[in-house]
């Protein structure tokens, strides 16, 4: 059975889905900080080459053009860029919170399912044990002539049903353990 972390912070820190979203939120936050620090766009360097000839019988002329562009003011564009980056950071943090809450709910559901499966297995094993004991008593009673054949066969069927239910409860317990491991983000064993 997988070990549940003691607190939700440990669980959330170790879960791969939350870690991925947290990394995205960190990147978005750093992008917002960068957009806040940058007051204007970066300068641009342009390089172009061309070749042409004036007439058909002339040789090609090659030329290289080099240009530098310095952006001046454009505070409205930068405000929009900062607002967009801040909105992306807020959205990423909201996704982290939503995923964390969803994950905690799923873990609690899987934990309750595991406890329920354990309880069902214990009850099914107890029923199978009692059915086996009853089968032995009814078999002795049948051999002594005190019980008829339909009653003995009914007890055999009930014992078989109890054994089948115990086996099914064992499978359900393994499935509940697997569901809990998957919810915790652990690899299968």
Q: How confident is the model at residue 93 (pLDDT cuts 50, 70, 90)?
A: very high
Q: In DSSP terms, which residues pair with 50 in a beta bridge?
A: 63
Q: In DSSP terms, which residues pair with 65 in a beta bridge?
A: 48
pTM of the model: 0.65
Containing H/E element for 114? helix 75-143
Distant-in-sequence, close-in-space partners of 172: CB < 8 Å, separation ≥ 6: 117, 120, 121
pLDDT 10s digits, 57-71: 888 888 899 999 887
What is the pLDDT at residue 162? 95
What is the pLDDT at residue 120? 96
Q: In DSSP terms, which residues pair with 47 in a beta bridge?
A: 66
Here the tokens at position 11 are 């669980």
Contact 138, 147 (CB under 8 A): yes
Containing H/E element for 46? strand 44-52
Rounded Cα distance between 89 and 182, Å, is 29
Contact 133, 155 (CB under 8 A): no
Mean local confidence (pLDDT), 5-31: 81
Rounded Cα distance between 166 and 70, Å, is 78
* The pLDDT of residue 127 is above 80: yes
């Amino acid at each position: 059975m997988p070990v549940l972390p003691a607190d939700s912070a440990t669980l959330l820190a170790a879960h791969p889905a939350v870690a991925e979203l947290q990394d995205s939120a960190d990147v978005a936050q750093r992008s917002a900080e960068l957009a806040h620090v940058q007051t204007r766009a970066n300068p641009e360097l342009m390089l172009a080459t061309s070749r042409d000839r004036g007439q058909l019988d002339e040789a090609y002329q090659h030329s290289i053009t080099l240009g530098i562009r310095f952006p001046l003011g454009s505070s409205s564009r930068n405000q929009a860029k900062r607002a967009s980056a801040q909105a992306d950071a807020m959205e990423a943090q909201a996704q982290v919170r939503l995923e964390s809450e969803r994950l905690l709910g799923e873990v609690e559901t899987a934990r309750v399912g595991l406890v329920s499966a354990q309880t069902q297995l214990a009850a099914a094993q107890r029923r199978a044990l009692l059915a086996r004991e009853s089968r032995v008593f009814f078999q002795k009673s049948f051999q002594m002539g005190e019980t008829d054949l339909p009653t003995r066969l009914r007890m055999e069927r009930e014992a078989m049903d109890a054994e089948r239910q115990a086996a099914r409860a064992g499978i359900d317990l393994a499935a509940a353990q697997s569901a809990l491991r998957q919810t915790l983000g652990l690899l299968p064993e």
